[in-house]
């Protein structure tokens, strides 16, 4: 199942509105096939793994094998035929899956469907890890809202203001490369008109390794004063300008819901200044926090989160950190 999770991770950010899913086929203790779901409309992980096994060992040798899948195999027709049928037809004798599919069309149905045709089923193996991977899908499926990751960078004295004469960056190249991989996790990057005016950010996904087989995330500029935006800024003029939209600030909920229902987005990266981040935190849109800490002291006045504050404090869950060169990246979930 760890191998299957590894396969699934290759699909993070690429499969929306579907979840990232991985599968590995094992016979007599040996891996004979592996695959991951690459994009909505394309084959599911199970069928990718079966196709891989067919080329590696041939259809006959798959009979009697075990398939490990990070998500419960689907059991009704969507854009693609049900995986439980593909598994049975291939002669797989045992299915081990990690998480139940949050999609009500499939949730909990695979076990009975497979067992009735003589396929053994084990559920819940490494379930927590598998659920972590499909958090954006589960939230979008369950609530119609996307998973929102707020990303910011700050100095050690918790300021966004850069020292004079140092250009626009607090963090260095390694942290900025890590931001590319964060953008690769999402279907849209959201910012404010104020940030566009002050920083003229690109907010693009430009690393080619992340772009193969997917669109660049939408760039959403939230502003009630579209006339005040610098229309010669890169995100309005570069080759991906058709992926930039300006939307009014008044209805974040409607905007987030439309990203899910109209654009098939499951996850959003919020990259903005303290005022908008504070408002979104106060209003409960943020699920996950990513903070880059840069080893410098700014002494300026601008804070990364200018909300109402948390009189009782707000402790984040599942906090972890990574080193990115000289900067540090902290990542944690907002507890609700
Ligand atoms: C699986 N394996 O790799 C994935 C699954 O429209 P379709 O046919 O692609 O079906 C989409 C649904 O299938 C999606 O909402 C989710 O419930 C499930 N995703 N299932 O067996 C996979 N990606
Ligand atoms: Zn399927």
**What pLDDT is recorded for position 90?**
97
Per-residue pLDDT at 327 exceeds 90: yes
- Give the tens place of pLDDT for each residue, 110-138: 999 999 999 999 999 999 999 999 999 99
Strands, E, within 133-266: which ranges? Answer: 147-155, 188-192, 218-222, 244-247
Ligand number with the minimum distance to the CA of 266: 1
**What pLDDT is recorded for position 314?**
87
Bridge partners of 218, per DSSP, are: 188
- Give the tens place of pLDDT for each residue, 26-60: 999 999 999 999 999 999 999 999 999 999 999 99
74 CA closest ligand 1 atom index: 21
The whole-model pTM stands at 0.95
307: number of CA atoms within 13 Å, CB side?
17
Per-residue pLDDT at 214 exceeds 90: yes
20 CA closest ligand 1 atom index: 23
The question of whether 288 is a catalytic residue gets the answer no
* Total count of residues recorded for the chain: 336
Selected residue with higher pLDDT from 182 and 167: 182
Residue 47 Cα to ligand 1 middle (Å): 11
Query: Which residues have their alpha-adjacent CB atom under 5 A from ion ligand 2?
Result: 44, 74, 83
The share of the chain scoring above pLDDT 90, in percent, equals 87
Per-residue pLDDT at 336 exceeds 90: no
- Give the tens place of pLDDT for each residue, 220-239: 999 999 999 999 999 999 99
Per-residue pLDDT at 311 exceeds 90: no
| Strands of the sheet with 188-192, listed across from one edge | 244-247, 218-222, 188-192, 267-271, 147-155, 288-294, 327-333, 317-324
- Furthest C-alpha separation in the chain: 70
Q: Which of 7, 46, 185, 271 is catalytic?
A: 46
- Find the mean pLDDT for residues 148-154: 96
**What pLDDT is recorded for position 255?**
97
110 CA closest ligand 1 atom index: 21
**What pLDDT is recorded for position 298?**
85
Per-residue pLDDT at 168 exceeds 70: no
Q: What is the mean pLDDT of the chain?
A: 94
Residue 74 Cα to ligand 1 middle (Å): 6
81 CA closest ligand 1 atom index: 8
Residue 72 Cα to ligand 1 middle (Å): 9
Protein residues with CB under 6 Å of any ligand 1 atom: 18-19, 21, 37, 40, 44-46, 71, 73-74, 78-80, 83, 101, 103, 106
Residue 59 Cα to ligand 2 middle (Å): 19
Whose Cα sits closest to atom 15 in ligand 1?
18
Cα 162 off chain centre by: 29
- As separate numbers, helices (DSSP H) first and strands (DSSP E) second, the chain gives 13, 13
**What pLDDT is recorded for position 312?**
79
Ligand number with the minimum distance to the CA of 137: 1
Per-residue pLDDT at 281 exceeds 90: yes
In a 3-state reduction of DSSP, which class is residue 324? Answer: strand
- Give the tens place of pLDDT for each residue, 70-122: 999 999 988 889 999 999 999 999 999 999 999 999 999 999 999 999 999 99
């Amino acid at each position: 199942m760890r191998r299957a999770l590894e396969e699934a991770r290759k699909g993070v950010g690429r499969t929306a509105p579907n979840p990232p899913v991985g599968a590995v086929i094992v016979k007599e203790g040996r891996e004979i096939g592996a695959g991951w779901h690459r994009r909505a409309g394309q084959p599911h992980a199970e069928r990718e793994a079966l196709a891989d096994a067919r080329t590696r060992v041939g259809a006959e040798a798959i009979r009697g094998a075990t398939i490990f899948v990070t998500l419960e195999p689907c059991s009704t027709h969507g854009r693609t035929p049900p995986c439980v049928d593909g598994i049975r037809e291939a002669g797989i004798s045992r299915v081990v899956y990690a998480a139940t599919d949050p999609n009500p069309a499939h949730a909990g149905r695979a076990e009975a469907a497979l067992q009735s045709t003589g396929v053994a089923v084990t559920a819940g193996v490494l379930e927590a890890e598998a659920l972590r991977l499909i958090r954006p899908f589960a939230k979008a499926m369950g609530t119609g809202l996307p998973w929102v990751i707020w990303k910011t960078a700050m100095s050690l004295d918790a300021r966004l203001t850069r020292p004079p004469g140092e250009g626009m960056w607090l963090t260095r190249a390694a942290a900025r490369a890590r931001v590319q991989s964060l953008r690769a996790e999402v279907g849209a990057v959201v910012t404010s008109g104020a940030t566009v005016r002050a920083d003229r950010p690109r907010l693009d996904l430009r690393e080619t390794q992340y772009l193969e087989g997917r669109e660049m995330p939408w760039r959403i500029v939230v502003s009630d004063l579209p006339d005040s935006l610098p229309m010669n800024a890169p995100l309005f003029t570069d080759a991906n300008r058709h992926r930039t939209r300006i939307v009014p600030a008044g209805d974040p909920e409607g905007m987030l819901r439309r990203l899910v229902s109209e654009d098939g987005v499951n996850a959003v990266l919020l990259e903005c200044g303290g005022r908008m981040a504070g408002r979104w935190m106060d209003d409960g849109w943020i699920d996950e926090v990513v903070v880059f800490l840069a080893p410098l002291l700014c002494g300026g006045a601008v804070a990364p989160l200018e909300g109402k504050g948390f009189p009782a404090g707000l402790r984040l869950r599942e906090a972890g950190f990574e080193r990115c060169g000289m900067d540090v990246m902290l990542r944690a979930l907002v507890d609700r």
